[in-house]
Structure 1
């Protein structure tokens, strides 16, 4: 999606976007690594001398301060890049639309452009401010937590690592099942907008004939189709959401059972088991939100793909400048 966004806006925005993504990734990694200090804190608290937990608790507070600073920088960078990209997107789309031939603006394209050039650009570019950071955090932070689990308890870490392919498979299946519904809803939205534009353009004729109070079947059908497509889109998200919840909860339950077994067997300490369970519970929240975040990312990618197709349309040939015209010899009048 980021490559499509940079192709739509131009390569001059590649540097700020890459720096923003790097800061967001570092923030997600710092969040996952900060939870590693919970293991020595809990180990000292459940040990013979709980006072030994103070140095680790201070270290945990320091790591949290570093994470808070990185989170502030990443959020600010995301909003600044979004504002810059928004201006660039509107300018580039407007300049390109002004160079397109008049015959290109058919009745169907007017409705599509009214959606793309308005709300579509705002939603697509606003991803960097509102969606990109949670999406990176939902992907990178759980993986970092799994690495922390492997460092402290390889048995529970391997159990958590085994759930990663299942979660990825559920997300891929959800994305593919929702792609058709999203595409249908987008097409219905464009068709409904076309009918609204057509209805507005026909107002002089309708008012002259006294038919403004009548209902129009084409417009009503388009609005009803949009409503049904929106309902199907919502229903298509339910299997993925339920499947992701079931997988995450099943993985957490398996870790809980394995942790209790290893703690009773004496192969893993109680403090390590409690810390790993806290880490697993913390990584479950972003994974549960990944389905909703992924739907927003897919919607933004669809808009960017349509904008890229519009920007790839060949504009009208520009006239040659006056300096490039061949010089003509002036004749002197007798």
Structure 2
């Protein structure tokens, strides 16, 4: 547990944890040793000169005061280190997530990381502030007391020592037996959370289809599974709790019987027996708390394991001596890329001269968007080379590559802030006049004029307070403000109404002017002005050429073009 915690924290944050663990261990030893002074205190009280107990009582009080000071220091250190490490862990996790390839972030992954970054980090780092001291005390203090008991009477100490391997075995067995139920509980919790979110987000569809009751039953089934998993978790923990309690009680009873036997035989004094029984009673409390602490530690350990998995995920390698491209032409040379077991791009070679426009069309699942992602190095290719300005993208630093590329996605995400803040993401240091000019070029000014608050209008989480076309205009304004020499467009008009489509087209034309462009589109009318068109199917280039050339050939592109014109002709 401690080893995994130190690995997750990293070298920078591990030393404070080691110091805190050492201080907590010292505190636990001091607590155990302070109880050793009970023996001379009881000897004096039960002896012929009870007044001599004052000296030992003062020594016992001093030892307790030292223990109290150490306990205060160790608890304070735990809270301070826990708070510092919580902040540091967020920074470390955030820095690592920022270096992971964007292709790593799937739909399920985003939800998993969001939960991990919130309650997961809190629970894992809470070990230091809340669980480490009680756990160390529950382990070290009883062992120290057993050593003290061995020093006063080896027979009583040896009898108490028998409990140590039994308690350790029970804890190990309980942890292993609960591993499966803990994993199942986490899985059921995750599934139930997804069902709740799904139920809330799907309300319009469910109500329109009259399926609300059915969906509620599905959610109810999921919650019942959580209840069953919780019950199994409790039942799995019960044998360990009962076993630990019985072990402690049996050992205490054995010590009581052994002490009475030795005292009656005259081998040991009544004071020593009483003191050892008091020490044994002090062992019982921390040992019995191990069940509760162990359950909390297992939960924290599972979160630490998930954190460790994320932090050990290798980011895309950065070039040791990055090269800065001087041109802005693009090239794919014999590129193959697999996603899982599926080959998405299969031996593709093509080039886009600087300042020209390439349109990529084809059926769904053909690999069109993947080409854009490889250009932006969301993934690394399995074989072949992707070049920008004649330089392999793997030899260009991520920062330099991103500076040269502006991307407009089909699904636009806006941060919960003002329109101006979202536009400025393209270039935060841009002047007011530049921001306004980009908005005008993207025809975003029309949206701003009719919104209450204008530029200060809040767009809501994910841009929920704007329509799809309005969000797209913000995205285009952001790309215009960035003023990057390479533009990647991914299905930017596929779901827009005619008014917004016309406005977005106008903004796109201004964005593409004088730049190297690769665009993916389903609506083939948007690609007519491209310098070259590539028809992709099954990850391979089936046809390529200009719009007129491809129509004359009467191949796949011509079929797609005729199909796209059919709805317009029927109207």
TM-score, normalised by the number of residues in structure 1: 0.91
Q: Secondary structure of the residue that 1:28 maps to in structure 2? A: helix
Could you tell me which residue of structure 2 aligns to residue 185 of structure 1?
185
- Deviation of residue 272 (structure 1)? 0.4
Query: Which blocks of at least 5 consecutive residues in structure 2 are unaligned?
Result: 328-571
Q: Relative to structure 1, is the Cα distance of residues 193 and 93 closer, same or farther in structure 2, using a 3 angstrom cutoff?
A: farther
User: Max radius of gyration: which structure?
Assistant: 2
Could you tell me which residue of structure 1 aligns to residue 311 of structure 2?
311
Q: Relative to structure 1, is the Cα distance of residues 320 and 46 closer, same or farther in structure 2, using a 3 angstrom cutoff?
A: closer
- Deviation of residue 215 (structure 1)? 3.0
Report if the CA contact (8 A) 1:181-1:233 is conserved. Answer: yes
Could you tell me which residue of structure 2 aligns to residue 159 of structure 1?
159
- Deviation of residue 204 (structure 1)? 5.2
Deviations 1:48-85 (A, max 9, x none): 11001000000000000000000000000000011011
Distance in 2 of aligned mates of 1:10 and 1:200: 39
Could you tell me which residue of structure 1 aligns to residue 77 of structure 2?
77
Q: Relative to structure 1, is the Cα distance of residues 161 and 74 closer, same or farther in structure 2, using a 3 angstrom cutoff?
A: same
Distance in 2 of aligned mates of 1:220 and 1:177: 28
C-alpha RMSD of matched pairs (Å)? 2.2
Task: Tell me if 1:47 matches 2:47.
Answer: yes
Could you tell me which residue of structure 1 aligns to residue 288 of structure 2?
288
Query: Which protein has greater RCO, CA pairs closer than 8 Å, 6+ apart?
Result: 1
Moved more, 307-316 or 147-156: 307-316
- Deviation of residue 316 (structure 1)? 4.9
Deviations 1:186-212 (A, max 9, x none): 111122223334344435544665766
Could you tell me which residue of structure 1 aligns to residue 324 of structure 2?
325
Report if the CA contact (8 A) 1:111-1:197 is conserved. Answer: no
Moved more, 311-320 or 263-272: 311-320
Task: Tell me if 1:38 matches 2:30.
Answer: no
Distance in 2 of aligned mates of 1:113 and 1:291: 30
TM-score, normalised by the number of residues in structure 2: 0.54
Could you tell me which residue of structure 2 aligns to residue 255 of structure 1?
255
Could you tell me which residue of structure 2 aligns to residue 17 of structure 1?
17
Q: Relative to structure 1, is the Cα distance of residues 197 and 310 closer, same or farther in structure 2, using a 3 angstrom cutoff?
A: farther
Deviations 1:165-192 (A, max 9, x none): 1111111111111111111111111222
Which is richer in strand? 2
Could you tell me which residue of structure 1 aligns to residue 117 of structure 2?
117
Distance in 2 of aligned mates of 1:142 and 1:207: 62
Distance in 1 of aligned mates of 2:198 and 2:318: 31
Moved more, 93-102 or 2-11: 93-102
Could you tell me which residue of structure 2 aligns to residue 332 of structure 1?
none
Q: Relative to structure 1, is the Cα distance of residues 327 and 28 closer, same or farther in structure 2, using a 3 angstrom cutoff?
A: same
Report if the CA contact (8 A) 2:206-2:212 is conserved. Answer: yes
Distance in 2 of aligned mates of 1:90 and 1:234: 32
Q: Relative to structure 1, is the Cα distance of residues 114 and 229 closer, same or farther in structure 2, using a 3 angstrom cutoff?
A: farther
Distance in 1 of aligned mates of 2:310 and 2:222: 24
Which is richer in helix? 1
Q: Relative to structure 1, is the Cα distance of residues 201 and 9 closer, same or farther in structure 2, using a 3 angstrom cutoff?
A: farther
Q: Relative to structure 1, is the Cα distance of residues 211 and 93 closer, same or farther in structure 2, using a 3 angstrom cutoff?
A: farther
Q: Relative to structure 1, is the Cα distance of residues 83 and 162 closer, same or farther in structure 2, using a 3 angstrom cutoff?
A: same
Q: Relative to structure 1, is the Cα distance of residues 33 and 304 closer, same or farther in structure 2, using a 3 angstrom cutoff?
A: same
- Deviation of residue 98 (structure 1)? 3.6
- Deviation of residue 286 (structure 1)? 0.4
Moved more, 132-141 or 160-169: 160-169
Q: Secondary structure of the residue that 1:313 maps to in structure 2? A: coil
Could you tell me which residue of structure 2 aligns to residue 6 of structure 1?
6
Task: Tell me if 1:196 matches 2:192.
Answer: no
- Deviation of residue 327 (structure 1)? 5.7
Moved more, 2-11 or 212-221: 212-221
- Deviation of residue 213 (structure 1)? 6.6
Moved more, 106-115 or 275-284: 106-115
Deviations 1:72-109 (A, max 9, x none): 00000000011011111222223333444444333433
- Deviation of residue 297 (structure 1)? 1.2
Q: Relative to structure 1, is the Cα distance of residues 213 and 180 closer, same or farther in structure 2, using a 3 angstrom cutoff?
A: closer
Query: Which blocks of at least 5 consecutive residues in structure 1 are unaligned?
Result: 329-334
- Deviation of residue 270 (structure 1)? 0.7
Q: Secondary structure of the residue that 1:126 maps to in structure 2? A: helix
Could you tell me which residue of structure 2 aligns to residue 331 of structure 1?
none
Moved more, 92-101 or 232-241: 92-101
